[in-house]
């Protein structure tokens, strides 16, 4: 898998998905978790990295429906909020420029 500047930027960062009772709070496990949505991805194609949230391994598992106790709808809501928080941090740090 190709590592972009935005996927690399997730390393060591605080989880922005923050699912209560799920988040492990360990920045060493944080990766860029892509938010999948019809029209932006498909079979063998990930969404753009701007549609990603910094997620710890536990939150990433929940977002990808891997053994989580929360519903798919709840996970999608937390993931979407995490994408927005991640974008806000990237903008505030000057990594991404908002027009």
Give catalytic residues, as residue numbers: 34
Q: List, in sequence order, every residue forming a beta bridge with 41; answer none if it has no partner.
A: 38
> Which stretch of DSSP H or E encloses residue 79?
helix 72-92
Beta bridge partners of 55: 31
Confirm if 55 and 23 have CB atoms less than 8 A apart: no
């Amino acid at each position: 898998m190709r590592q972009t500047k935005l996927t690399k930027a997730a390393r060591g960062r605080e989880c922005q998905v923050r699912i209560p009772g799920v988040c492990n709070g360990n920045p060493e496990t944080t990766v860029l978790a892509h938010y999948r949505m019809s029209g932006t991805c498909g079979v063998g194609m990930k969404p753009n990295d701007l549609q990603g949230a910094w997620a710890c391994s536990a939150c990433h598992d929940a977002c990808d429906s891997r053994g989580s106790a929360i519903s798919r709808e709840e996970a999608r809501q937390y993931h979407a909020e995490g994408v927005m928080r991640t974008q806000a941090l990237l903008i505030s740090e000057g990594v991404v420029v908002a027009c």
